[in-house]
Amino acid sequence: MEIPVVPVAGLAAGEAAGSRTAADQIGAACRDTGFFYVVDHGVDPDLQNRLEVLSREFFAQSLEAKLAIRMELGGAAWRGYFPVGGELTSGRPDIKEGIYFGTEPAGDDPRVRAGIPLHGPNLMPAHPAELGPTVLAYLEAMTALGHSLMRGLALSLGLPADWFAEHYTADPTILFRIFNYPPVPATADGEQCWGVGEHTDYGLLTILKQDHHGGLQVRSRSGGWIEAPPIRGSFVCNIGDMLDRLTGGHYRSTPHRVIPSAAHHRLSWPFFFDPSWDADVRPVGRAELAPDAAAARWDGANLHEFTGTYGDYLVAKVSKVFPALRRQVM
């Protein structure tokens, strides 16, 4: 089984034929693997290259220098750097370090003044100084791509192209990560070490830029694992828990994991395009629950029994990933 590659230029341009073709391909991928590559997406390759170079420059610094923007300094905003072992995706420490970013809020944003979790200013590094402005430019470009892809997802569900923009993503929750997976040599007993363990993403859509080293694996519907190798000029997209919930399980959020390289640092840049913070995500129209949608997931949770807003769901998930920070700010 292979993950399909979808050209999406027609979605951004609003072309009827191109949008319909892309939407059909995206819908088929969501019903099959929950993952798809996008190409012809229009995101400036020079911007991507700058982001990669500056990211590597940041992670090449000493731990002391990186800790100058440690997450604890961001408080409830959950922004900044965490070291290797600082994040627990599947209840055990990941073998990765990273930086958390989000939309840069206006100074008088009421959610920031109220101390709402995951809202606040980014912690930008002093070195390389260009990384902060590059991240903000990248967020702008990827947000535009996210809106385009959501038009394709809407069409794939038989909805008007602007349905998500009208109901859930006029003010999307935008989160962005830069991860560095250090090399992990094989152990003498052959035990596999995970850069990040099996998990699903929380929101609507993840758009991932990955470097050329690979390591991403996706659980197939049959239960095995397939590789999602890097394809030059592409992003890897996958649907999250809220799109699973919204479609009654017909589009399934797919577990995935990362195997670190034995010899190289692996970098990845996941961009999360999610519902507005206060959205109460419910199944579209009268969509019936898919036959096996209520079955136990990899984590034993049932998305379709959850009540509350997307913000409630996200805070509950993220606070498990960073338990020490949760105790500090909540």
Choose the weakest-confidence range: 16-20, 105-109, 295-299, 313-317: 295-299
Q: Is the dihedral of CA 11, 16, 21, 27 positive or negative?
A: positive
pTM: 0.94
How high is the pLDDT of residue 297?
A: 65
- Residue 50 parent element (H or E): helix 45-59
Number of Cβ within 10 Å of residue 85's Cβ equals 12
Return the domain boundaries, the chain: 5-329
Average pLDDT over residues 104-110: 85
Express each pLDDT in 234-280 by its tens digit.
999 999 999 999 998 889 899 999 998 888 999 999 999 999 999 99
d(CA 83, CA 71): 10
Q: From residue 137, give the alpha-carbon distance in Å to each of 47, 183, 243.
A: 8, 29, 27
Residue pLDDT, tens place only, 228-239: 999 999 999 999
pLDDT value at 36 more than 90: yes
Distance from C-alpha of 192 to C-alpha of 194, rounded to nearest angstrom = 6
HSE-up (13 A, CA, CB side) for residue 68: 12
**Could you give the CA distance from residue 291 to residue 85 in angstroms, rounded to a whole number?**
38
Is there a cis peptide before residue 110, judged by omega within 30 degrees of 0?
A: no
pLDDT exceeds 70 at position 286? no
What CATH class does 5-329 carry? mainly beta
* Tens digit of each residue's pLDDT (9 = 90 or more) over 152-208: 999 999 999 999 999 999 999 999 999 999 998 876 566 677 889 899 999 999 999
